[in-house]
Chains A and B, each alone.
Chain A
Amino acid sequence: MVQVDFAGIVQAIIIIVVVLALTRPVGGYVVAVYFKERSRFDTLFGPFERALFRILGVNPTENMSVKRYILNLLLLNGLMAVVVLVILLNQASLPLNPNGAPNMAIDQAFNTATSFITNTNWQSYAGETQLSYLSQMVCITFLMFTSAATGLAAGAAFIRGFASRDKRPGFRQISGMGNFYFDFVRSLTRVLIPLALIVSLILVAQGVPQTLNGPLTYKTAEGASDTLYRGPVASLESIKHLGTNGGGYYAQNSAFPYENPTPVTNVVEIVAMLVLPISLIYAFGVLVGNTREAWVLIGALIVIFVVMLSIGLAAETSNQALSNLAVNQSAGNMQGKEVRFGVSGSMIFTVTTTSTGTGSVNSMLDSYTALGGLVPLSLLMLNSPFAGEGSGLLSILIYVILAVFIAGLMVGRAPQYLGRKIESKEVKLTLLAFLVHPILILGGTAAGVVFAAGAMGNPGFHGFTEMLYAYATAAANNGSAFAGLHADTPFLNYTLGITMLLGRYVTFPLMLLVSNSFMQKKITPYDVGTFRTDKWLFGLILIGVIVILGALTFFPVLVLGPLGEALL
């Protein structure tokens, strides 16, 4: 029996309304950061940024070709990955190791480095005991900022290829992909750090600890002694969600009361995950000269979000298996969920974390019903439609280009997007980017169940789902874990690491090349015979393409996993 979950509906509505209300101001701010000639924040951030550019020895106004942009992005990321790898391998003998964390094994170090450099935040280690303070700071927190900044930079560069070429007052002249270091530094100084500060303050006000003092020992009512681990939790929690990172301070991630103490922080964290990806889509709309282009994309994504959420809520509130027991099931399937969030607070968080690239969790997905677990898995298979900051725009545009190409022909014109013809070059690059995801998931899972069958925590369908989920979350650079999988084996560490690397560093360059190719094209003005992508009908077509292409690719594998389990 399906119960109507009013609390869930109200919460979902509040979140959507808040996110939509924030889209314009935050999106407008993002536009100013990357694309305006000057802003009123220049006096605040300018001197610091200029000093930074001088130290780095780069000229932020120098325009890069797409190849140079990609190369610099890869180089900087590669450099950071190597530094992180070296630290993890030698952390025992490096300073700031009061907890005596041993050197990490090479496979786990590789996995950890790739996980945080790619903004995935998949964790095959336990942070409290296996990481030194130096590793926590440099390898985890630092990369949470830089990986998000890399994503935002790629998003900004990507937008430039599609931007309207009319000279608009106040806007920088766009004549190429822009400058990677300019985008990267500004992402940090003007977007991530200030926003993280704001979110941190809200979280602190709600009771999330933010202290540099050590653990607190206290006496329980029984007279026993216990320890409360605390630390700078709020600051990590904010960038974890804003940067769609997902790696938690505590092993229990956002289920732990100090990370996510109240329903209010739950909503704040959900909003923090959604706000930057959506704002970047809005910025895209501003730059292409028609915000309705962006609203149609945002609308389509919200429809997918709401439908997935509804399926999830329905699955978790009406558990067939439990309804026959003599237990009050009015609260729904509460196994693995926090009482303060309930089914709805948990499901909204889960749907958000998997439709963005975050991957933090406030409940244990392994304990969801089969259909409830299918929801986050499907979202990962659709490559986390909202995805991360910049990468969200890149992956939604893969679907947009394919949808325009197929449906656009039906109006009797050669397909064009934003006045630019989609020709074989763009089709080829987009398809390659599209193919990466299923190759990684299907190929990876197949290898996983054959060579690492012992890693699954459960037999049959459920165990299969654990493995499938691991590769899906790695390929989508999401990082949420289904749990149940013993992820720290050399095989999984290496293959999941490679999956994360390819999932990000193949897609990014391909989509930047697509954008660059669109930049070179002639723009045809719209007329009544033009296939419109700023109308609701296109939103529906886009949803159809996303769902059908996703369903067609992953239907068989879902039958072997959650679908097979749900049909039992």
Chain B
Amino acid sequence: MVDQKWYSRTLLTDALRASIRKFDPRLLIANPVMFVVEVGFVYTFILAVSAAISGSGKATFIGQISAILLITVFFATFSEAIAEGRGKAQAESLKKTKKEITARKVVGDEIVEVDGHSLVKGDVVRVTAGDMIPNDGEVIKGRGAVDESAITGESAPVIRESGGDFSSVTGGTTLLSDELTIRITANPGESFLDKMIALVEGASRQKTPNEIALTMVLAGLTWIFLLVIVTLNALASYEGVFVDATTLIALLVCLIPTTIGGLLSAIGIAGMDRVTQFNVIAKSGKAVEASGDINTLILDKTGTITIGNRLAEEFIPFGDKTGADVTKAAFLSSVRDETPEGRSIVRLASKLVPDLAEPEVRDVIDFSADTKMSGVDLADGSEIRKGAFDVMSAYMNYVPKGFKEIVDEISRKGATPLVVSVDREPIGVIHLKDTVKPGMRDRLHELKSMGIKTVMVTGDNRLTAATIATEAGVDDYVPESKPEDKIDIVSREQTDGKLVAMTGDGTNDAPALAQADVGLAMNSGTQAAKEAANMVDLDSDPSKLIPVVSIGKQLLMTRGAITTFSIVNDVAKYFAIIPAVFAVAIPQVNRLNIMALSSPSSAILSAVIFNALIIPALIPLAMRGVKYKPSDASTILLRNIAIYGVGGLIVPFIGIKAIDIIITSLHLV
């Protein structure tokens, strides 16, 4: 599911077939502009046939117009089919993972082999290395490496274990090592995979609010031009002018916004698709659209702004203690600590003092939310502990003078201090360093230039938070906050009228994810978080929120640009068709033929051909989206007006003239 070209052979042939089906007027009526073109085609087709039967010389011309109208509709349905086809291709690859699976269900003390699709919510299954996980679930026992490449495309396996935020597993992924006991959390057909397939297939695609409004504008313009056409003959009758039906239909089709009408749904689908290519599944087009509107981004410090795993940087002895003392104490406190922080402490200690011996451990004290410290009790009875300064100062026998200053100094650097003690006596401090992700500063700066405010949320104390905030360049930060606080931050921003986006993975993030206008859940996160969010990042990279915002903006911009282009195109088309329409009856009108088109029929044909060809010419733009460099609104507006507004005014003059030269030299008229 990584980057793919917007076209391929099979994609084109499938799209060809699908685009023919879309000619069904019952489907096409959802697109009023194209519906009018189709009606125009049917009408001119009947005229052409009757002209041919009666042997009229006009049959060729009417037939030509009719054919071009048919092609115009085809280009529109084709562009939509191509956009959908890309989604289907991705859905196919997902479906392959839905093969027959035999699951080993735990019933009482026994294990029964059952069909994987018969499992329902609440069933417990056991999965061993090499097995495919039968359905979405939660690990209740064990720890193992899971290959999630079927969903994420990422080949590196991820660790899933019971308890905590890494307990959720997805059906269709494969366990690579160890054994897991999993409680199933989804009924058949309702799994994450099933929902994703439906989404990318476009089966559940609905028009987004902005798309509906824009369709209305296009319908309104269509009504205006219908009115112009319908009244034209009555008006012209006063001067004895009569315009034939084919010319009127040609004029109508040229004037109604066929370009944007033909590409509108393709733009929307392609926008969602671009999000998918970033390995983010948007649950609705509305979510993608909303991300373009975001005013405030709430970002977790850990994992989003900083690398996430804080790594031991140095050990600082205190008082009469030596570096070796603190290194040893730090090592002992972490030998059984499997967190990334703990392992980094062991790694650093082993590097500093190479021959540290594995101690005889009597008891392991895991970190818990209550005690906020961890460590070991050794066989010789000594208690080794490490933890945050405030809990440790209560735990230790005494807090020596000057100790707090060392701790604060580390906090000020944006790092995390961990106090180490042996038998409740302070030994020193472990300096855990938190580093801002490379490139994060630039990305946050980009966001600022787009007018998006960034708020960093962290459980760290104020000093640490302030330092990281300055280093990364976020606008605001909320220190010492718990995941539960996020919903308050979201609500506060929303009361100010802002649209808020955030990321989250834990169950306690779920309410905030649901409250936010754009909630991006990590695939590695809990089921609750994924349910609450309106987007899921398969790579579990929270900084993905930033490109998602860009894609949303690009989607809206593409719509606006092609709409503007489509409308200003009409100026040139008028200069081509109006002289042609009235050329015979009102000869002086030919002075408006500023393009010097060779004949009335060549002028009309050229305009209609240009009108049709511009649709496929812009398909790549609709698929890719307009070029977008993060900047303030005025700069972007000026640029887009210059390209699509002024360009849209000039291009058709050149295009229509060129087509006129070609069809005249080929004697097509």
A-to-B contact residues, CB < 8 Å? 402, 405-415, 419, 422-424, 427-428, 431, 434-435, 438-439, 442-443, 445-447, 449-450, 453, 460-461, 463-464, 467, 522-525, 527-532, 535, 537, 541, 544, 548, 551-553, 555-557, 559-560, 564, 567-568
Contact = CB atoms under 8 A, between A and B. Distances in A.
Given A405-B217, A461-B239, A464-B238, A412 B553 contact: yes
A541 B225 CA distance: 22
* Pairs of residues from A and B, 6 with the lowest C-beta to C-beta distance, nearest first: A409-B560, A529-B451, A412-B553, A527-B451, A431-B220, A446-B234
Contacts of B453: 527
B567 A449 contact: no
Contacts, number: 197
A407 B641 contact: yes
A559 B564 contact: no
Dominant SS among interface residues on chain B: helix
A452 B498 CA distance: 58
B292 A446 contact: no
B561 interface: yes
B228 interface: yes
Contact of B450 (A405, A449, A528, A535): A528
Nearest to A529: B451
B662 interface: no
A424 B217 CA distance: 9
Contacts of A552: 224-225, 255, 567, 570-571, 574
B212 A412 contact: no
Contact of A405 (B213, B223, B237, B568): B213
A552 B649 CA distance: 13
Contacts of A453: 238
B559 interface: yes
A439 B561 CA distance: 28
B450 A559 contact: no
Contacts of A422: 213
A241 B204 CA distance: 59
A555 B213 contact: no
A522 B236 CA distance: 49
A548 B567 contact: yes
B235 A427 contact: no
A301 to B, nearest CB: 20
A528 B292 CA distance: 14
Contacts of B651: none
B556 A414 contact: yes
Interface in B393-440: none
B636 A411 contact: yes
A167 B645 CA distance: 40
B293 interface: yes
Given A522-B497, A537-B634, A553-B228, A412 B556 contact: yes
B449 interface: yes
A402 B563 CA distance: 12
Contacts of B628: 412
A535 B292 contact: no
Contacts of B227: 435, 438-439, 442-443
Interface string B276-303: 0000000000000110110100000000
Given A424-B209, A427-B213, A552-B255, A411 B497 contact: no
A403 to B, nearest CB: 10
Most buried by B among A402, A411, A447: A411
Given A419-B497, A428-B216, A446-B231, A407 B637 contact: yes
B407 to A, nearest CB: 39
Given A423-B209, A556-B578, A567-B589, A412 B636 contact: yes
B564 A407 contact: yes
A321 B235 CA distance: 27
A431 B214 CA distance: 11
Given A414-B292, A419-B497, A529 B632 contact: yes
Contact of A406 (B216, B217, B293): B217
21 contacts: A409-B214, A409-B559, A410-B641, A411-B637, A412-B554, A412-B636, A413-B633, A414-B292, A423-B213, A424-B212, A424-B213, A427-B217, A464-B239, A467-B238, A523-B497, A524-B498, A525-B295, A537-B637, A541-B641, A552-B571, A553-B224
Nearest to A541: B641
Contact of A414 (B210, B554, B561, B641): B210
Contacts of A528: 449-451, 632-633
Given A410-B636, A544-B645, 19 more contacts: A409-B214, A409-B556, A410-B641, A411-B633, A411-B637, A424-B216, A435-B224, A445-B231, A450-B238, A525-B496, A525-B497, A527-B452, A537-B638, A548-B567, A552-B570, A557-B231, A557-B235, A559-B592, A564-B582
A560 B239 CA distance: 8
B124 interface: no
Nearest to B232: A556
Contacts of B234: 446-447, 449-450
B559 to A, nearest CB: 5
B324 interface: no
Contact of B586 (A410, A463, A532, A559): A559
Interface residues of B, number: 71
Given A548-B568, A552-B255, A552-B574, A410 B231 contact: no
B411 to A, nearest CB: 32
Contacts of A524: 295, 497-499
Most buried by A among B239, B581, B640: B239
B241 interface: yes
A270 to B, nearest CB: 32
B588 interface: yes
B591 A567 contact: yes
Contacts of A409: 210, 214, 556-557, 559-561, 563
Contacts of B290: 414
A438 B223 CA distance: 10
B292 A412 contact: yes
Interface string B195-232: 00000000000000110111011001001110110011
B75 interface: no
A233 B293 CA distance: 58
Contacts of A402: 217
A560 B236 CA distance: 7
A427 B239 contact: no
Contacts of B563: 406, 409
Contacts of B636: 410-412
A435 to B, nearest CB: 6
B582 A559 contact: yes
B644 interface: yes
A411 B626 CA distance: 11
A560 B233 CA distance: 11
Contacts of B212: 424
A284 to B, nearest CB: 21
B560 A407 contact: yes
Contacts of B214: 405, 409
Nearest to B207: A424
Contacts of B633: 411, 413, 528-532
Contacts of B554: 412
B44 to A, nearest CB: 20
A68 B499 CA distance: 33
A47 to B, nearest CB: 43
Interface in B161-216: 209-210, 212-214, 216
B198 to A, nearest CB: 26
A535 B634 contact: yes
A531 B637 CA distance: 8
B436 to A, nearest CB: 24
Contacts of A567: 588-589, 591-592
Contact of A525 (B498, B568, B645): B498
A541 B567 CA distance: 13
B223 A450 contact: no
A455 to B, nearest CB: 11
Contacts of A446: 231, 234-235
B264 to A, nearest CB: 12
